[in-house]
Amino acid sequence: MAAASGDLTRSGDLRITELTPGDWPLFERLLGPGGLQGGCWCAWYRMTSRQYRETGPEERKAHVRDEVRAGKPLGLLGILDGEPVAWVAVSPRLDNPRLAASRVAALPDDDPTDVWSVTCFYVHRRARGRGIAAAMVRAATRHAFDRGARVVEGYPVDARKKRPAGELYHGTIEMFSAAGFDLTARRDTVRALMRISAR
């Protein structure tokens, strides 16, 4: 099925599009009034630890909304039958200051230039079990390369080790591997650094 104007891709009936100011209401609808994960609003990686700790849900929401309005890339929305059902955060690594202090995400080299990061996923419960998260990571990878990324990386969990559902927002090693990512480093027993380079 051909992509509609402004869309990045279609996967079956799923339409995947970049989050823009015009799509902000869909993002709000998907994350709900609480903004998921204790009012994160997908600001966790886009703030330093101190900034995040000193702000509440409404301030985090405003921070993310201001970045969208400024034209910064934040991620992609998955839309099914006109309703938002999925989100993947993908943006330049340097736009995610918390990654600089992350042991799991520590760079294997010293140059973060042109590295993009896939930091989190969310699929609404009504759309789970359809392979939507896998479609989102593939779309995120293509999107990053189209925007000039040299490398795309993710920080998934090992799904073979039973984890609470709330920790799966990083994605799984199996999902990233199926999308062509290579295992770069295992710095603990649960999380991994995975990367794919532009061809």
Phi, psi of 155 (to 5 degrees): -135, 55
- Residue pLDDT, tens place only, 7-53: 555 555 899 999 999 999 999 999 998 888 889 999 999 999 999 99
CB 154 within 8 A of CB 188: no
pLDDT beyond 90 at 79: yes
DSSP letter at 191 equals: B
Write out 67-98 in H/E/C secondary structure. HHHCCCCCEEEEEECCEEEEEEEEEEHHHCHH
Distance CA 44, CA 181 (A): 23
CATH topology of domain 7-197: Aminopeptidase (3.40.630)
pLDDT at 183: 94
pLDDT recorded at residue 165:
60
Residue owning tokens 């390369």? 145
Predicted TM-score (pTM) above 0.75: yes
Bigger pLDDT: 43 vs 190: 43
Q: State the Cα–Cα distance between residues 93 and 110, nearest whole angstrom.
A: 13
Higher pLDDT, 168 or 114: 114
**Mean pLDDT estimate for the chain:** 89
Look at residue 179 in the predicted model and tell me its pLDDT: 96
Per-domain residue ranges for the chain?
Answer: 7-197
Q: pLDDT band for position 6 (50/70/90)?
A: very low
